[in-house]
Structure 1
Amino acid sequence: MSLPNEKRPWTYADYANLHEEKRYEGIDGILFMTPSPTPRHQRIVTALSALFFDFLQHSSCEVFVAPIDVCLFATKDTPLHDIKDWYIPDLIIVCDKQKIGDERIYGAPDLIVEILSPSTAKHDRITKFHSYERAGVKEYWIVDPIHETVEIYALQDGHFRQIRMHYKDETIHPYIFPNCSIELQKVFM
């Protein structure tokens, strides 16, 4: 759902100065409200983050869960008033410490997970899909809590290619972490 925009375009600096408790994503200077997640959504995010956290403990990669702002097309040197695109993914993994700022993530995370909800499914499947692809996110997961599936997309030659659709009774081996095993029965409880 987009915010009535009395000002266009919005920049990340404008967003950072909002005195609201609501969360918004910015896409090409237009604000979109991100609704609070459901308990089922939160269970899935919590399970995935715990499993990734265990796997990544002795690596240079870190897992983060929403709310955390990701400025896909920016660096730490980009002035906030020049940033017109930022997202709040459900879960991200960042392996380059230079991308982790004090208040936000700069540039493309290595892996992004979005949990579908009726109000955000189209946004996750189309708008975010193309933005994440363009930014160079190496792997993108779309998790469907209703059908209990996980679609895995890997960046190959600058484009996302669907690697596989996984179901609740399967084990996932992330494309960028082939030694990691995630049993989906532990995610879709």
Structure 2
Amino acid sequence: MIVEVVSAFNPRNDYIKKLNLYEQFKVKEYWIVNPMKKNIFVYTLTDNGYDAPNSYTFQDKVKVNIYDNLEIDFNSIDI
């Protein structure tokens, strides 16, 4: 699992370049956290690569899909 915080100066790097790189190297789960828009995109690897992401806000609890009993409550994080 990799979690990236979007760079205000180069968001394309996180949304395109790194997404493709992590898919190529079969990273099971890739999260893109955007503090400016207060959203999280979660990409989960399938046999065919990454599916469309699940989208969350900073008001949500987000389940870490590669673990059975782990979730992150973004509402409790002061960003």
Cα RMSD (Å) of the superposition? 1.4
Say which SS state the counterpart of residue 52 (structure 2) adopts. strand
Which amino acid in structure 2 is aligned with residue 183 of structure 1?
Answer: D
For the 8 Å contact 1:151–1:162, the answer to whether it is kept is: no
Once the 2 structures are TM-superposed, how far is the Cα of residue 157 of structure 1 from its aligned partner?
1.0
- Residue 148 of structure 1 is matched in structure 2 by 38
CA distance in 2, matches of 1:182, 1:172: 5
* Matched length: 79
- Secondary structure of 2:27's counterpart equals coil
Structure 1 residue runs of 5 or longer lacking an equivalent are 1-110
Tell me if 1:166 matches 2:40: no
Q: 1:148 to 1:178 in 2, by over 3 A?
A: farther
Q: Which runs of 5+ in 2 are unaligned?
A: none
- What is the rounded CA distance, in whole Å, between the counterparts of 1:187 and 1:173 in structure 2? 15
The offset of 1:162, in angstroms, is 3.0
Higher relative contact order (CA 8 A, sep 6+): 2
TM-score by length of structure 2 reads 0.89
Tell me the secondary structure at the aligned position of residue 51 of structure 2.
Answer: strand
Q: Which residue of 2 aligns with 1:136?
A: 26
- TM (normalized to structure 1)? 0.39
